[in-house]
Amino acid sequence: MQGNGNGHDPEWLALLKAKYKKTPPGKVRGFFEKFATETALDATKAAKLVGYAHPNTQGPKLTKKFPDVAEACGVLWREMCGVKPDELVMHLAEIVRDKDHKDRMKAIITNAQIHGMLSDKLIVDFDRNSLLKQIDARIAQLTDSRAVEVGAALPALPAVITQDDGDST
């Protein structure tokens, strides 16, 4: 990736160059270029593509060593994909709400992972309908809280009707 079209380095490269007194080593630069553009942010694949001897460890180490560069790569990747993270979450929510969608359980699991709702503990015995109701309720809560965060209008609440008992004291 040469630049962003206006003769300037992409943000990830500018950040990487700032880390070195001279120019960044070719493998490191190549790693982040592959990481940002070809491997869908897979550090191991990027390290393998540029020829690291131990890509399983060296790729993740580079992203930890340069977290701001890795984040800038992530921004570039998301821009190249043309989909924003909020749009993906909303699309997942649409699939989860569609009770007949063939990928509903996959979407439920992915959505739960995104929101940190899963633990490493395995549930051996559970009632599927009860679980789905709980997940639907949690999704509704998250959707409502997200709507409040972005300032979207929530559905109108029913009016509360009170009885006037005539006692005005």
| Model pLDDT for residues 92-111, shown as the tens digit of each residue | 888 888 889 898 888 888 88
* Reported confidence tier of residue 3, pLDDT bands at 50, 70, 90: very low
Can you tell me the mean pLDDT for 14-42? 90
**Helices and strands in the chain: count of H runs, count of E runs:** 8, 0
**CA–CA dist 37, 142 (Å, integer):** 32
Quote the pLDDT of residue 22.
Answer: 85
What does the mean pLDDT of the chain come to?
A: 80
User: Is 5 a residue whose pLDDT tops 50?
Assistant: no
Residue 150 token pair = 């972005």
Higher pLDDT, 159 or 46: 46
Poorest-pLDDT segment among 12-26, 33-47, 58-72, 147-161: 147-161
Beta carbons of 128 and 147 less than 8 angstroms apart:
no
Predicted confidence at residue 4, as pLDDT, reads 46
Say if residue 152's pLDDT is above 70.
no
Whether the CB-CB separation of 30 and 50 falls below 8 Å is answered with yes
pLDDT at res. 154: 54
Q: Give residue 78's pLDDT.
A: 79
